[in-house]
Amino acid sequence: MSYTRDELRWNGWGLARQSFDLGGNDEKVWDFLRESVGLPLLPETPARPLEACELPDVRLDAATLASLRDLCHASTEPLQRAAHALGRSYPDLLRLRYGDLSSAPDVVAFPASHEECVALVQYCDSASLAVVPFGGGSSVVGGVEGRGGPGHRGVVTLDTTRMSRMLELDEVSHTATFEAGVWGPDLEQALEARGYTLGHYPQSFEFSTLGGWIAARGAGQQSNRYGAANKWLVAARLATPAGTWETRPFPQSAAGPNLNEVVVGSEGTLGVITEATVKICALPEARDYRAYLFKSFEAGAAAIRRIVQAEIPVAMLRLSDGDESYFFGALQGLRKPHGKGTEVAEKGLAALGYGPGRCVLMVGLEGDKAHVRGALAETLLACTREGGLPVGTSPGRAWLANRFAMPYLRDPMMDRGIGVDTLETSTTWANLPRLYEAVRHAISSKLVRGAVLTHISHSYKDGASLYFTFFFPRAEGGLDAELAQWRGLKTAASDAIADHGGTISHHHGVGQDHAPWLGREKGELALGMLAAAKKTLDPQGVLNPGKLLVD
């Protein structure tokens, strides 16, 4: 295993020993961030240490605890309960940092096999205990909060990470079967040793699991090439109160609805995903990540559309709007100051029309050498046709080097009075400009001070995703005031999405935070179907109560 749970921050991102690299230029970076949110001074708003936080009493009696311990390893240690109380959404972090551990589970159980999972889930069902599946715990939508439903006597969080073996590698069919609690890096290491990759690299890659990717319908940064979870999932095995539910590994089938597409996005409400068979690819022989500058977001988006609709085989297309391009350019420049040449180059770019407001498009290519070479020529042509200026591979290298680092910046920002959240949606190409403006406007109108950055990071022949990052001075007045501030932002953005033809989530999932908008998107009939399907597997609603479907 890459690490153990106690090497991770219980109330923040990633490894406790690791932090965001400011390149030794801390003061300049913090000055820049302070100015970005319009604060005269950065306040000190540290998180409460675990020792100062109060955990609720364990509600289970000794006999119940003994029964759970007979089924698998189970812990009531404070660190485990705290680390499994919540996920990594902004309101989750607020609560953790204020020491609100009211949603800590009574017990954290660590089944080591599918069979142990089934026994555990069925015991919980019989004992009226809620079961909250928990992989990496990186949910940013309230998907892993340790809450029970009506009538539940307590909450058992089911940590899947002891189920982490590769069970089969089928080199003929290019599929691999893993236990679902495997961490991202361990999965890739097992595949890479045999010459393969799943290619699923979400920003949370280092601290998330295969089962979580499937449950939350995740997409990796190279989704153009490798697809989101629904594209690479071939078969799944789940533990449910009604027993084992499995899908079968057919490359394609017309035997009724495709239930893999119901497993993907089920968010622990239909069963605990214990094993999964996934499509794998030969490790790419070559990689090419390079950047192009565009004079406008529209021009960059047009280049992406041109590339995907022409079916040029790319791994990633990532376009930042003017505000985001400026922000990350400036941040990078402060962390690793450029030489004098940069200033001259900037003047040249401005003279060419690529001055302030320019947008950066990162084009990532992966595959065998000949394909990458071909795609390089084709993407170059497509970009230049929309006015894109090629600026080489060094921005690509910088992006690759930092691609998992950004979440580490959130904790120190929150320590200094700066709130930061992200949300994402998708829509058709025709509707993209309208949705972009509407969501930006909705968020901006709720921000007295702060900024909204936007990028397109996933694209399709029929449309693309929009990813919004926004930061703001944290409200004063304590946890409730801060949660209200967040709720105001979230509601405005989500309403704008629902009102303007976007999906409430492109790859973060629904959890609790998006559940109120799911009915507007899918319709009440669809929610009724999902609830009815759930009831056949989980008649008492013990599986992840309150997530995906509002009770």
Q: Which of residues 301-360 bind a second copy (CB under 8 A)?
A: 305, 309-311, 313
At residue 208, the 3 state secondary structure works out as coil
496 is an interface residue for a second copy by CB under 8 A: no
Quickly tell me which residue has 């799943």 as its tokens.
198
180 is an interface residue for a second copy by CB under 8 A: no
Q: Which of residues 282-311 bind a second copy (CB under 8 A)?
A: 282, 305, 309-311
Query: How open is the CA angle 499-501-503, to the nearest 5 degrees?
Result: 100
Shortest reach from residue 342's CB to a second copy, in Å: 37
Stretch touching a second copy by CB under 8 A, among 125-133, 257-265, 344-352, 449-457:
257-265
Q: Which of residues 78-137 bind a second copy (CB under 8 A)?
A: none
237 is an interface residue for a second copy by CB under 8 A: no
Residues that contact a second copy, how many (by CB under 8 A): 91
CB neighbour class for 392 (10 Å; exposed up to 12, middle 13-18, buried from 19):
exposed
Nearest to a second copy of 271, 395 (CB atom)? 271
Nearest to a second copy of 161, 459 (CB atom)? 459
240 is an interface residue for a second copy by CB under 8 A: yes
Q: What is the CA radius of gyration of the chain?
A: 23
In the list 374, 387, 412, 516, the residue contacting a second copy (rule: CB under 8 A) is 374
Nearest to a second copy of 18, 431 (CB atom)? 431
What's the distance, CA 417 to chain centroid?
24
Please say whether the beta carbons of 457 and 425 come within 8 A. no
Quickly tell me which residue has 């095995």 as its tokens.
237
Nearest to a second copy of 247, 320 (CB atom)? 247
Q: What percent helix, strand, coil does the chain show, rounded to 5? A: 40, 20, 40
Nearest to 464 by CA among 316, 364, 345, 339: 316
Nearest to a second copy of 62, 172 (CB atom)? 172
Please say whether the beta carbons of 75 and 107 come within 8 A. yes
Six-digit token string for 421: 């959240």
368 is an interface residue for a second copy by CB under 8 A: yes
Q: Based on DSSP, count helices (H) and strands (E) in the chain, helices before strands.
A: 20, 18
Q: How far apart are the first and last CA of the chain?
A: 37
In the list 46, 256, 341, 478, the residue contacting a second copy (rule: CB under 8 A) is 256
Q: Which of residues 428-487 bind a second copy (CB under 8 A)?
A: 428-431, 458-465
536 is an interface residue for a second copy by CB under 8 A: yes
Six-digit token string for 51: 């020792």
In the list 115, 261, 298, 346, the residue contacting a second copy (rule: CB under 8 A) is 261
In the list 481, 523, 550, 551, the residue contacting a second copy (rule: CB under 8 A) is 523
521 is an interface residue for a second copy by CB under 8 A: yes
550 is an interface residue for a second copy by CB under 8 A: no
Beta bridge partners of 520: none
Shortest reach from residue 202's CB to a second copy, in Å: 11
Please say whether the beta carbons of 472 and 36 come within 8 A. no
Stretch touching a second copy by CB under 8 A, among 14-22, 114-122, 165-173, 292-300:
165-173
